[in-house]
Amino acid sequence: MSKDFTFNPGDFVVYPAHGVGQVRERQNASIAGKNVDLLAIHFEKDKFTMRIPSESAVNKGLRSVASPAVMETVISTLKSQNKVRRQPWAKRSAEYTNKIASGDPVALAEVVRELYHDPSLATQNYSEKQFYEKAFSRLAPEYAVVQKISEVEAINQLETILQKAEEKTIA
């Protein structure tokens, strides 16, 4: 991922707690008598704009969207064989929570790969499905931005990759 932490209007960024947003503007504001440079980031999916001081944006987890090379790693991760996990659910649950909270696309892909099940089989329990959906809903928009496609197209492409990977595992 980019180490350039200068975010400008029009840039797509990722905030781990909310996913992909777009910097709308930089604003100067006086807060407690101090001039502060704020980034106004709009999250279209959630229909809200967040303002965050630019000097603390990176410490809060704000980052540029992944590079095409990182997305290639994401695709490789999704296509790779799922590891058999014999850990207690509580430990796996904590691990999934941390990976999702990190906002790292490769970590999100690991969660998606591990929890993906063919929708026609209905073999996921409720908690697994919640983790899967949360990770997938954070990964797909970033994939769409990087690939310069619509989110619907991104969802379809990612689901196709997952289905093919599962078919290969079963065969």
- What is the mean pLDDT of each successive set of 10 residues along the chain, which is 171 residues long? 68 92 92 90 92 88 94 96 82 95 95 83 81 95 96 96 82 56
Domain with CATH 2.40.10.170 in the chain: 12-64
Domain with CATH 1.20.58.1290 in the chain: 68-170
What pLDDT shows up at residue 125? Answer: 86
The second-level CATH assignment, the architecture, of 12-64 is Beta Barrel (2.40)
Is the domain spanning 68-170 CATH 3.90.1570.10? The answer is: no
User: Taking the mean position of all CA atoms in its chain, how far away is CA 13?
Assistant: 11
DSSP assignment of 44-94 equals: TTTTEEEEEEGGGTTTTT-EEPPPHHHHHHHHHHHHSPPPP--S-HHHHHH
What pLDDT shows up at residue 165? Answer: 86
What pLDDT shows up at residue 119? Answer: 65
